[in-house]
Structure 1
Amino acid sequence: MYQDELLLIATATTTITEKLATATLADGSASDLSKYDYKNLEPYVHPPETKEKLNWAELVTLDLEDYNREGGKERLAKQLEHAVHHVGFFYVKNYGLSQEEVDHQFTLAKNFFALPTDEKALDNAEIYNTPKFTEDFEGKYQQPDLLKAHLPEIEHFSKTLHSNVVLPLLSLFAIILQLSDEDYLVKQLTYEQKSEDYFRYMLGGGLGNGHTDLGTVTFLFRQPIAGLQILGDDGNWTWISAQPGTITVNLADTISHLTGGWLKSSVHRVVTPPKDQWGYDRTGLLYFARPHNETVLNPLDSPVLPAAGVTSRFEKPVTVEQWVKAKRMIQLNPDIAAKRWAEAGDGTVEVLAGFRGRKYKE
């Protein structure tokens, strides 16, 4: 299910210095990981795209190759401004990872979900998360041998996404917001400092209610099974198409909180795919980025925000860590959430410090 944290079953990481082709098991014996070379794995093959005529959303595509060219950041920021303020979704291309590298990650996801349940240690879970490769998570969780064999690639993949996509986007947001320090947001999402970023393998998607994600931005790698929809200002759902060579990006809650809602955390959901795609698995690669746990979610010092009448969404200072804990509590405890929805009676529920979450059109 494409829903930040709602189906979080297990989180995975490993020792980031583990680079060898063999691993030592708990009993001290050596495990030969060469059997997990790609030549021995069943490759992932993208399913065919739907032939049904759907109401596709029209999203802007950013070419990140332009970022380091003269005047490139300003051009990209101008191109992006409407999308981040009114839509909350867009595409990026030329993000520094080859199609072969992306396809390899899809292959790992496919073969991971084919492992026996006890080897996955997931109890038939549909998602598997790998947090940042930092000391905060080093050695905290065990990985199946399939992923141990490819940890350097997974680490490279995750770090490339952070450096080549997350940080440039944050600089573009700062330009759009006319912040005096173009790197202000970048400093709130450095890779080394503790935060709950993670890379996800996902199988399926299921039916999901309209929701927003917890963090700053979410990346979804192209896969052709239709199912992701966004809610427009007109109250109607439109489909997100799979554009070749792109990552679909959506803004999430914390960046919206930092702008009092001016940057849009888009409401989205996953629905049953069109009939001509029912026979295929929906395999997903996603990356979720969040600010440092200690970041306070007050509106930024931006001239754009007071001009738009923006105020804080909270009645008192709230950190990212507090926000994530409060929203997780509602997401992961449906009985408590249902009681709160019923008590409110207006389609909202208080999440934290006066901020109210909302039920969205199904």
Structure 2
Amino acid sequence: MDRIPSVDLRDFLSEDESRKQKFIKEIGNAYETIGFVALKGHFLDTTLVDNLYAQIKKFFDLPVETKQKYEIPGIGGQRGYVSFGKESAKGKKEGDLKEFWHFGQYVENNPTLEKEYPANVNVEELPEFNEVGKQTYKMLEKTAKYVLRSLALFLNLDEEYFDNHILNGNSILRPIHYPPIQEEPKGAVRAAAHGDINLITLLMGAHGKGLQVQNHNGEWIDAIAEPDELMINVGDMLSRHSNNKLKSTIHRVVNPPKELWGTSRYSIPFFMHPVSEMKLDVLENCIDENNPKQFEDITAGEFLNERLRELGLIK
């Protein structure tokens, strides 16, 4: 496997059962072998994407002291701004060469979850930033719902198996800025090799090369989405729930060649999380004599807290 397979969500959404089955087979096979697909036919339109990139560039161009107003202590970086070098990959001492922002869930009709989740943070200087972030969040969440429906069918579950787990889920939209590199990094890269925590991650076509995926031979391959594609990968929660039938793939963002050090890179992943009480216990139909149960029982909330501690975002 030396390239990322491409699939089209319109096949799954069509009235044609053969197209729907083709999509389920293609995405399932991709996640069994490399854990990444490039997805066309999603719910983001180009105007929304262009507006979002314009707004996030405006935000990251704000003075450092302005951005730091929106860095909220005591919430592990779950909402608002996280400054440069704060986050490091599991097992890495060096902080990644990035700053980022978090938009979180817009809870509907659930006062309990409204109390559980930190409130979203509004940037006073950029009202459009807040609105376009919310619109993007909703469209990516909608796309993720249908991807998970296809994976439920691939795993021989009810098509809507994930729906209640992701309704008002603890998902995160993370615009990232990798600033120009000023000097030779001492062991740090823009994002060190890691697997994602969540169910699935939807990545909007990053501006600039750099994302690499490790295939099962240990080789790093470039993951470059077309302008109309989302790159979507399996996270550790879904890998765990499926007894590693669906693979959470190690990936990284490497530093550019020296002649491009003076350029910024922007990237916008959406991390699809379920509600905290979802049980990630290994699915019974993913266990057999050749594939014994690999993981202990745990809830999504317990697993998330464990990983946030490993990343240094909470103590």
Under TM normalisation by the shorter chain, which class is it?
Answer: 0.7 to 0.9
The amino acid that maps onto 1:213 is: D
How far has the Cα of 1:182 moved from its partner?
1.5
Q: 2:215 aligns with which of 216, 229, 232?
A: 232
TM-score, normalised with respect to structure 1: 0.69
User: What is the RMSD of the two structures over their aligned residues, measured on CA atoms?
Assistant: 2.4
Contact 1:229 1:271 (8 Å CA) reproduced: yes
CA distance in 1, matches of 2:8, 2:253: 26
Q: 2:12 aligns with which of 63, 67, 72?
A: 67
Q: Does 1:184 align with 2:161?
A: yes
Contact 1:74 1:175 (8 Å CA) reproduced: no
The amino acid that maps onto 2:295 is: R
How far has the Cα of 1:279 moved from its partner?
3.0
Single out whichever of 203-212 and 111-120 deviates more from structure 2.
Answer: 203-212
Contact 1:262 1:305 (8 Å CA) reproduced: no
Q: 2:175 aligns with which of 201, 217, 221?
A: 201
Contact 2:2 2:215 (8 Å CA) reproduced: no
How far has the Cα of 1:102 moved from its partner?
0.4
Contact 1:57 1:241 (8 Å CA) reproduced: no
Aligned residue runs from structure 1 range 13-24, under 5 A: none
The amino acid that maps onto 2:4 is: L
The amino acid that maps onto 1:187 is: N
Q: Does 1:328 align with 2:311?
A: no
Aligned equivalent of 2:288: 306
Aligned residue runs from structure 1 range 128-277, under 5 A: 128-134=101-107, 136=114, 140-163=119-142, 165-179=143-157, 181-190=158-167, 192=168, 195-204=169-178, 206-277=189-260
Equivalent position SS for 1:332? coil
Distance 1:242 1:141, change over 3 A: closer
How far has the Cα of 1:128 moved from its partner?
0.6
The amino acid that maps onto 2:166 is: L
Aligned residue runs from structure 1 range 5-44, under 5 A: none
Distance 1:208 1:155, change over 3 A: closer
**1:235-292 residue CA offsets vs partner (Å, 9 max, x unmatched):** 1211112322111111101001101111101111111123453332101111111111
Contact 2:12 2:150 (8 Å CA) reproduced: no
Work out the number of aligned pairs and report it: 272
Q: 2:276 aligns with which of 265, 284, 293?
A: 293
The amino acid that maps onto 1:274 is: P
Contact 1:226 1:274 (8 Å CA) reproduced: no
Contact 1:296 1:320 (8 Å CA) reproduced: yes
The unaligned stretches of length 5 or more in structure 1 are 1-55, 337-362
Equivalent position SS for 1:222? strand
CA distance in 2, matches of 1:59, 1:142: 35
**1:194-238 residue CA offsets vs partner (Å, 9 max, x unmatched):** x32111111018343321111011111112411111111111211
CA distance in 1, matches of 2:36, 2:123: 34
Contact 1:131 1:196 (8 Å CA) reproduced: yes
The unaligned stretches of length 5 or more in structure 2 are 72-81, 85-98, 180-188
CA distance in 2, matches of 1:173, 1:310: 21
How far has the Cα of 1:325 moved from its partner?
0.8
Single out whichever of 57-66 and 250-259 deviates more from structure 2.
Answer: 57-66
The amino acid that maps onto 1:196 is: N
TM-score, normalised with respect to structure 2: 0.79
Contact 2:276 2:301 (8 Å CA) reproduced: yes
Distance 1:166 1:307, change over 3 A: farther
CA distance in 2, matches of 1:184, 1:301: 14
The amino acid that maps onto 1:173 is: L
The amino acid that maps onto 2:58 is: N
CA distance in 2, matches of 1:333, 1:283: 21
The amino acid that maps onto 1:107 is: A
